Amino acid sequence: MIPDAQARIEAFIADFHQAWERAGWAGTDFSLDPAFSEAWRAELAQLVDSHCLPGTQTGEEGVLSSRPAHSPASESITEVIGHDDQVSVRSVVEHGGQRRYFEYRLVLREEQWRIGRILSFLDPPGVPLIDKVEAQRLLSAPQTEGSLEAIDADVELNIPSLFVAGRTVAPFGEPATLDVHRLGDITCRSGVLTVRDFGYIGFDHEPLARRVPAGTYPVEVATVAQTNVALRLRLSDLPAATWHPAKRIDGTHIIGVDAGNVAILDLANLVRCEAQWAEELYVRQTEGLEVAPGTTFSLLGDVTDSAMVTSGYGDGAYPCYWGVATDGTLVALVVDFLVLAVDKESTATV
C-alpha cells in the first residue's frame, strides 16, 4: 500500500502543475483579469476533490505565483514513512539554488490514499531550530539580579487599567467593555523566557535579560470588541509598585511583529525543537487564533510552556514591561498592544 501513497502524491504534483498552467501562467498572463482568481479557486477545488480529504488546504489558496509550487520537473519525493492507514510522503522542490521542503500526510479512506494535510518548510527534516553553540549563548545570558531601567520620562503608564474587566473604553470611537480572558497556565522550568512573533521561526530568538523563578504561571489577555489590548503573564499575586522595560539581551524591550502574533515561550524548550516542528507548531497555533484571542501549547509535548495571542491591530512594534513589587519581586510580564494608548501633546516655546 505504501507505493500507492507515493503514486497519489506523484499524481497530485502532476495535476497541480497542469492546473497552474490552465489558470493563466503558461504562455499568457491573466493577472489583470479578475476572472483568473476565480479560475484558480476552481482549479484548487478540483485538486482537493480528486486527491484530498474534504476541506484540505493546499497552501496556495489566494496565490497564483509566477512559478508553480508543485511540478514534476522541480519536485522530487525523498522519503515515504508510515504504516497501516497513515503515511507521510516527503519531497523537495528545487528552483535554482533555492529549496523548499514539503510533507504530505495521507490517510486511508475506502481503500484509497487521500491527502489530509500539506506542510511546507524552509529547512530539511532533522535540522535543529537553533544550533548548540547559539543555544548555549542565549540560555546563559539572562540574569536574576541587577537594577531594572526606569520608564522613559515621556511615557505615562497605567498598566493595571489594561486588565480591569468590565471597564468602559472607546478605542474605536464607540463605548465598549474591556474583557479579560484567562488562557491557561504555562510552565517555565528554565526561567528563561523569550517574547516574540512566533512567525519568525528561524531567527530573533533573543531572550529577556531578566530570568524569572522556575514555575507555572497564569496567562491572561485583555480584549475590547474582539481586539487584543494586552497580554499578561502573572508571576505573583503581589501588586506592582513600579513598571520597567522588559528588555531582551539585545537591549530592546520592543517586540517587532510581522505575522500578527506575539508569543511567550520557555526558551530552553524552544532551542530543543527541530526547525520543521517549530514551523508546524506555528501553523497549528495560527489556526487556533482564528477562533480565539489566544492559546497555550507545548513545544515538546511534555508540558504546556508557551502562549500565543493575536497582536492587537496586527503587525507593528509593541513594548514589553516588568511589573515589580515593593520588595523587588517580579509580579508580571506585560505586552501592551497600544490599542488604548493615548498620544501626548506638548508645546515648546523657543
Domains of the chain: 2-121 (3.10.450.50), 132-336 (no CATH)
What is the model's pLDDT at position 264?
A: 98
Q: pTM for the complete prediction?
A: 0.85
Q: Cell numbers of 82, please? A: 508510515
- The answer to whether 82 and 2 are in contact (CB under 8 A) is yes
The percent helix, strand, coil of the chain (3-state, each to 5) is 20, 35, 45
Distance CA 161, CA 328 (A): 21
What is the model's pLDDT at position 200?
A: 86
Q: Residue 304 half-sphere exposure, CB side, CA atoms within 13 Å? A: 13
SS3 63: coil
β-pairing, 193-196 with 261-266? Answer: antiparallel
What is the model's pLDDT at position 32?
A: 46
Distance CA 317, CA 333 (A): 16
Q: Please give the distance of CA 55 from its chain centroid, rounded to a whole number.
A: 22
What is the model's pLDDT at position 26?
A: 45
> Which residues does the chain have with pLDDT short of 50?
26-32
Alpha-helical regions (H) of 194-274: 267-270
What is the model's pLDDT at position 198?
A: 94
